[in-house]
Amino acid sequence: MKALAAGNFLCVAKRIPGKALYQTVRGGTEVSLARETKIGAKSEWVIYQEMQTTKDGRKILRLASSIPPELLVLGKRRYWSEVEFMPEGHIKDALIKVLVSMTGIPETDIRIGMPAPTKLTSA
């Protein structure tokens, strides 16, 4: 899973709070999961292989798998630890909570700029 996270770190989406939709981390596109994806809207974070536009213009994610956000961070530390460059919103807030729990660094310090990624452990 860590290798999958490292190789597909740009193809990640997070469930929008209170909705059955997801938002892609890169681009911020609102998407739903394809019916063939059996994970449903219960997974908080997903990694996907393909985004497709349906005939009616909706965007869906195909070949999606649930993934713990900690594995995303461990798979591509530098990308996920640079939260100061992410747009404000639920994705950034959730990622900051994960980084706080993984590192013990205060949230305010993470928001202004994460220290070197070597501080992250694989606990």
Closest CA to 79 of 23, 5, 24: 5
Distance CA 56, CA 64 (A): 21
For residue 91, the SS3 value is: helix
Residue 116 in this model has a pLDDT that exceeds 70: no
pTM score, whole prediction: 0.84
pLDDT at 123 over 70: no
Domain ranges of the chain: 2-68, 70-115
The string of pLDDT tens digits covering residues 12-49 is 999 999 998 999 999 999 999 988 887 866 789 999 99
Q: How confident is the model at residue 115 (pLDDT cuts 50, 70, 90)?
A: low
Which has the minimum average pLDDT: 33-47, 65-79, 107-121? 107-121
Of the candidate ranges 7-11, 26-30, 36-40, 84-88, the one whose mean pLDDT is the lowest: 36-40
Q: Which residues contact 8 (CB under 8 A, 6 or more apart)?
A: 47, 48, 49
Average pLDDT, the chain: 87
**49 and 64 Cβ atoms separated by less than 8 Å:** yes
